[in-house]
Structure 1
Amino acid sequence: MTQLLSLRHLQLKTRMVLILGVIAVSQTGILGQFAIRYLDTVLEEQIGHQAMRVAQAIAASPTLIDAVETRNTDILQPLSYKIAKSAEAKFVVIGDRDGIRLAHPFPERIGKPMSDDDGDTNAPALIGGIPYVSKALGSIGWSVRGKAPIFNHTGTQIIGVVSVGYLLDTVEQLVSNHRLSMMLAIAAAFAFSVFTAIWFARHFKKAIFDLEPEQIGQMFEERNATLEAVREGIVAINQKGMITTFNHAAIRTLELPENEQYIGKHIMEVLPDTGMLHVLRSGQPQFDQEIWLHNHLLIASRIPLRQDDKTTGVVTSFRLKNEVDLVSRKLTRIKQYADSLRSQAHEYNNKLHTIAGLIQIDAKDEALAVIGQETSSHQAFIQQLMSVTSDSVLAGCLLGKYNRAKELGLTLHIEQESQMSALPDALPREQLVSILGNLIDNALEATLAHYGRGGSVTLSLSDYGKELIFEIEDQGPGVAESDRERIFTRGFSTKSQPGHGIGLDLVKSLTDHLGGMITVEPISPYGSRFTLYLPKELSELLRGKDLNAGPIPFSGPAN
């Protein structure tokens, strides 16, 4: 264990060389030992069969049969030498039917039982007439012997036995030669493993940017911590469209079940409308795109992952669009609110001075008249709102815009015939007031810029028929015919000040999402009329969506 732990201090290349080298030596050594043992066994079997075949051939010799029948050792002794030499055998021993030697490499052993050498009674050959192979320690060492019975000329009677032997030293010599070859093979395998390990380590480290495994592990932990720390939702897929990253911010933003495992699933199973597969096929990045995903309006960026000029995956990051727009609009509105407050304070200071002067000259009735003028118009507008609509959210929005108009020195009028009491319950109020708030703010700014203080914006509301109709008329410079479609494009604005070109794009997106329509037309002698149409009956598509998950309302300049 200590040795394994100490390997962590070595570089990856050194570790791979050591590990692959040990594996190569172990595998080659084990296979070599098995091969040598198998070779030893096979060689013994082959030599034994060869000895038995030679013994059978000798036993069938007519000269040998005649000499055995007559027990003529003078013929058998030199014959055995000659046969042993020609067969490259160590010895050839010939015995009679009783196992008594008639020929032997050592002449002094002639006439003695053959069983003296190895304890073998030669029974299978002498009694059963069966040739066989035996292995025994004889007078000249360990040998493999092939034995065959000698029959008379008619083949009816066993008259003796022939034993042909090969020393096992021959087998050992052959095995030793192969063992040397095996050792050379082990050395060659080790050298090849070292070379392969070095090459593979270089290639592998290049693929992992020359990092060590411990560094990769640390970076992986840092990557997971980073993914969980960011507020943006992050989702990544591989080349097959399988999800490889899905952080908790993405789960929370899309309001997905937190107890499910998303990594390993196909992106079409979880987020079929994400558009990541299109980026995977095209390889073209997309930045700051507005998308509807899982019933949420998002700002998303999709970046393809590349390796060797090949797209291997896609990463997308996203946030709720209302969060991005809200931050942008808050930053751009701070100065405008400050200017508005300064002008409002200046106006009210003048009125307070006027009231104070009237009181000082004891003109109390005139002072009360001035104070009444400030409250009467406000109360009249509230009474009109109560008669036009019973929806508190819509009424609160319009009252806020009325106050905003007064701050700017303008007037917000509501047509006397207006009526809006049939707002459907399924219509998300926050999206409705977001649309109206942006349109009214846009009209107030256009009127102030063109007409100046004292101008007015007129609002008409109608719920007759199958649609909700909202008309906003301003006293601005109007919209050029060539710009009537472009004003709904994100970033386009007829104003030169920064921070515009956002609101009308949001209005168009929300209107389309609600299944409605918005138009713009000029009015005489100057100004524009924006008309918003929203269906009372939402389509089946919208009924299946969580409409209340859209952007939260906010006020500010629309264009």
Structure 2
Amino acid sequence: MTRRLSLAGQLLALQVIIICVVLVGVAAVTVAQTIQGAHENEGRRALAAGEFIANARATREAIEESGVRYLRIAALSTRTAFDAASVTIVDEHRTVLASTESDLLGTRFPIGESTVLRGRSWSGEGSWDGRPAAIAMVPVLDLDGETIGFAAVYRAFPSVGEGLVRALPNLLTYLGLASAIGIGGSLLVARRVKRQTLGLEPAEITGLVEHRDAMLHGIREGIVGLDLRGRVTLVNDEAIRLLRIPGDALGRTLEDLGVGEEVSDALLAGEVEQDRAVASAGRVLVVNRRPIVNRGREIGSVTTLRDRTELLELRRELVLTRHVTDTLRAQAHEFDNRLHTIAGLIEIGEGDEAVRFVHRISSSRSEFSAAVTGAVRDPSIAALLIAKASQAAELGVALRIAPDSSLPVLGDELSADVATVVGNLVDNALEAASTAPQRWVEVSLGLVDGEVDVVVRDSGPGVPPGMEREIFRRGVSTKHGEQAGERGIGLSLVHLICTRRGGDVTATAVGGSTFTARLPVDAETLDETLVDA
């Protein structure tokens, strides 16, 4: 079985072949130029020989006196002196008087397009003994400047082989240098290619790409790769679905793709992100981001996206269940305390005081319940607030409803979201206010400009400066204790619910903490709410 060349070997072989072809072309051009130069040189040497014999006084006198013997000797001498192929002397009637070729004597010499009989020297190309040759014709002039004859000199052109021999020294030098440079450069290119491909061959690279694509598009998590300029370098089908971006996302920035601000912030974060929950296109995504480092230099980042919308819904239901459980526990505890108080008053014979005590607590609860039901017509949210009053009483915190609160009946889904937001914000406020000198929490609810506004104020220490946005991230909390690692969930859940519906939640610290949540109401639900109102 024949072993195939490696990628570096194939590149080297291909480049060597290209170099050889180029060198052959260079050699051909060099030989052609050499031959062309030889032709021009032979023409000049033929013209010089013709001028030598034609301008001699003895030649002119011999033609005038018919000195044929001298002319023949002069022709032979000139051929020998100038290494010419043939030398011929012709009179003004084109009759050959003398020639180194004896068979031409007495014949009529052909001049073709030559201008020699008009007294002008002429050179061109002709044929001698079946070979291409340079021919020069120089007129012989008398003392009056009249043409009395001319001398014709032939010099044979060198053959291709002779031209190659003449060009061989320089040609070998050029070819040697070009070969050394070319092969050396090819070796460097082959080595660089091998290093850049990590020693992998084309079949192996193809296999890696195919496996990567299959794995990338087969996993259920979304994957997004970004370069240092924030352009998408890698994206799979799940990421396109979760982010709702076009399929031709490669090479485009997140801004061009219309990715939301919160998701963009997570994808472009400078630090490592672990299990960061963000809202995107009606979904809750868990983001994990890692930088990509190559040879100690960061070249981009890769981020995985997991859809946790269903888990969020489950968590919301669990939170509501926990609220109910905590409220029932608080009510049971409060009920036990009041029963004990009533029993004690009866035992010591203070029956009237026991009756007044029952009226007081009944009146206080009735007033708060009446205030809540008068301002909040949605039964789920009203019941939640009334139940939270028991929890507040257990902590010694006064829970009150803002006088300007007014909330109509909401749709089932929106009501559940608002209840989750209210429950978490009130729990957070009650815990903060329970350690303050003045312990109170105020809740304001309303439907303003197509949005449900939830405002919860407390008398606690307030949100630390600089953490107004950070506090809504999962795992971030201003509280410390044995369970600090389990904190930072309630506010992050509030943030996710608000952003998922297209709203927002903010926190300020002026005289305590103020949390403001806005949950937009879709047009159909808003119309139904206004009709019910």
Q: TM-score, normalised by structure 1?
A: 0.63
Change beyond 3 A, Cα 1:52–1:239: farther
What do residues 281-300 of structure 1 show as CA deviations (whole Å, max 9, x unaligned)? xxx54424677878987654
Asked whether 1:132 is paired with 2:126, we answer no
Change beyond 3 A, Cα 1:324–1:197: farther
In structure 1, what is the Cα distance between the partners aligned to 2:132 and 2:83?
Answer: 16
8 Å Cα contact 1:145/1:166 also seen in 2: yes
Shift of residue 244, structure 1, vs aligned partner: 2.8
Change beyond 3 A, Cα 1:266–1:482: closer
Match of 2:423 in 1: 437
Change beyond 3 A, Cα 1:434–1:21: farther
Equivalent AA in structure 2 for residue 64 of structure 1: T
Shift of residue 317, structure 1, vs aligned partner: 1.7
Shift of residue 209, structure 1, vs aligned partner: 1.8
Uncovered stretches (5+) of structure 1, i.e. residues with no partner: 1-5, 348-379, 451-456, 523-529, 549-559
Alignment of 1:76-475 (within 5 A): 76-106=71-101, 108-109=102-103, 111-113=105-107, 115=109, 120-122=110-112, 124-125=114-115, 127-139=117-129, 142-156=132-146, 158-169=147-158, 172-179=161-168, 182=171, 185-186=174-175, 189-190=178-179, 192-238=181-227, 242-256=231-245, 258=246, 261-270=248-257, 274=264, 285-288=271-274, 300=287, 303-307=290-294, 309-311=296-298, 313-317=299-303, 319=305, 323=309, 326=312, 387-391=374-378, 395-396=379-380, 399=383, 420-422=405-407, 432-440=418-426, 442=428, 460-463=443-446, 468=453, 470-471=455-456
Match of 1:352 in 2: none
Equivalent AA in structure 2 for residue 15 of structure 1: Q
Change beyond 3 A, Cα 1:290–1:79: farther
Shift of residue 50, structure 1, vs aligned partner: 3.8
8 Å Cα contact 2:278/2:287 also seen in 1: yes
Q: TM-score, normalised by structure 2?
A: 0.66
What do residues 227-285 of structure 1 show as CA deviations (whole Å, max 9, x unaligned)? 323444444344665443333333322323x36x3323355533585369977xxxx54
What do residues 48-81 of structure 1 show as CA deviations (whole Å, max 9, x unaligned)? 2442354245433333222222232332233234
Equivalent AA in structure 2 for residue 421 of structure 1: S
8 Å Cα contact 2:429/2:441 also seen in 1: no
Change beyond 3 A, Cα 1:48–1:303: farther
In structure 2, what is the Cα distance between the partners aligned to 1:430 and 1:78?
Answer: 130
Equivalent AA in structure 2 for residue 221 of structure 1: E
Change beyond 3 A, Cα 1:184–1:428: farther
Aligned length: 463
Shift of residue 17, structure 1, vs aligned partner: 1.6
Match of 1:39 in 2: 34
Change beyond 3 A, Cα 1:249–1:217: same
Which secondary structure does the structure 2 equivalent of 1:421 belong to? coil
Match of 1:24 in 2: 19
8 Å Cα contact 2:38/2:157 also seen in 1: no
In structure 2, what is the Cα distance between the partners aligned to 1:15 and 1:304?
Answer: 36
Shift of residue 15, structure 1, vs aligned partner: 0.8
Uncovered stretches (5+) of structure 2, i.e. residues with no partner: 333-366, 526-533
Which secondary structure does the structure 2 equivalent of 1:124 belong to? coil
Change beyond 3 A, Cα 1:417–1:60: closer
Shift of residue 13, structure 1, vs aligned partner: 1.8
In structure 1, what is the Cα distance between the partners aligned to 2:171 and 2:416?
Answer: 83
8 Å Cα contact 2:377/2:408 also seen in 1: no
What do residues 88-114 of structure 1 show as CA deviations (whole Å, max 9, x unaligned)? 4333222222333333334x3462426
Change beyond 3 A, Cα 1:506–1:123: closer
Change beyond 3 A, Cα 1:504–1:265: closer
In structure 2, what is the Cα distance between the partners aligned to 1:197 and 1:463?
Answer: 77
Change beyond 3 A, Cα 1:73–1:238: farther
Change beyond 3 A, Cα 1:150–1:441: same
Correspondence for 2:471 among 484, 488, 497: 488
Shift of residue 205, structure 1, vs aligned partner: 1.7
In structure 2, what is the Cα distance between the partners aligned to 1:181 and 1:276?
Answer: 68
Shift of residue 472, structure 1, vs aligned partner: 7.6
Change beyond 3 A, Cα 1:330–1:10: farther
Cα root mean square deviation, aligned: 5.5
Shift of residue 381, structure 1, vs aligned partner: 11
Shift of residue 323, structure 1, vs aligned partner: 4.7
Which secondary structure does the structure 2 equivalent of 1:169 belong to? coil
In structure 2, what is the Cα distance between the partners aligned to 1:200 and 1:324?
Answer: 54
In structure 2, what is the Cα distance between the partners aligned to 1:330 and 1:294?
Answer: 19
Match of 1:556 in 2: none
Which secondary structure does the structure 2 equivalent of 1:103 belong to? strand
